[in-house]
Amino acid sequence: MKTYIRSFLMCLSLGLFFLPMAAAETSDTLPSRLGVGVHLGFNIGGALPPSVPKPVKKVHAFKPGGTPNIGLDLSYRLTPTSPFALNMGLEYDIRSFSTTVSAEEMPIRYQSDEHREQHYTGYQRVEMDTRYVVIPVGLSYALPNSSFRFVVGGYYAHALKRKFTAKLDGDGLIDGRTLQEESVVSFPLGDFIVRNDVGVRFGADYSIDPHWGLTARMNVGLPKLFDKSFEVMPYSLRHVFLNLGVSYRINR
């Protein structure tokens, strides 16, 4: 499976490499239907639950990453003058975040080899650091007589690096007993993150001039962060990231 994915990404990369050449050969008498560009942005967000779990009594810190996203963007107008275009690309995406909370009777299952449920009261911190190759696809609509363009679609992401660590304050209580006095107990959970992520993506672009623009994309993962076979936490986490950046269009 890994060999297949690598071969697919290599072929796609070669195809994207030669597309700018094809775009450059577009006739000057008609507007180019093929747009080729690049973008550089940063991600803000995290692996989030649908709502704050009841055992979480206070969120002391939340750092939403601010990690880079870089990619090659392709668009193809349905007709030379159509406001609609098909979009595709290839991106290298870094997703990270960390948060510290106070929990009361938080059900956890990652603290023992048996993965049996116990209840923790105290400070809990989670840290995530991941790397993905992302293939976005979608449809865009350029507003007439405007610099704005709206985009809706989805993405497929394959994890190159998976790191997720849960840290518990050893002075906290687990089933009424002190966990491990005067220490911080860490539990690495990255291997349980699903390797392949798919999700929805929507956003908007603003053209500063024919080449430069500003971009905004909201990405929401559909599968749960952790593998279904391992009930790490009693609530679901999913990727939710806002990407803000700047783009450069090689041609229109």
φ, ψ dihedrals at 224, nearest 5°:
-65, 150
Confidence band of 3 (pLDDT split at 50, 70, 90): low
Give the range with max mean pLDDT: 23-27, 105-109, 183-187, 198-202: 198-202
Mean pLDDT, range 222-249, rounded to an integer: 86
Tokens at 212, concatenated: 């430069």
> Which of 177, 68, 75 lies closest to 120, judged by CA?
177
> Which of 80, 78, 88, 81 lies closest to 19, judged by CA?
88
For the cut 60, the answer to whether the pLDDT of residue 233 exceeds it is yes
Give the range with max mean pLDDT: 49-53, 72-76, 107-111: 72-76
> Does the reported pTM lie above 0.85?
no
φ, ψ dihedrals at 192, nearest 5°:
-95, 0
For the cut 50, the answer to whether the pLDDT of residue 22 exceeds it is no
Instruction: Please name the residues in contact with 231: beta carbons below 8 A apart, sequence gap of 6 or more.
Output: 109, 115
Lowest-pLDDT choice from 82-86, 107-111, 116-120: 107-111
For the cut 70, the answer to whether the pLDDT of residue 195 exceeds it is yes
Query: Which residues in 78-181 belong to E strands, given as ranges?
Result: 84-108, 118-142, 148-169, 173-174, 177-178
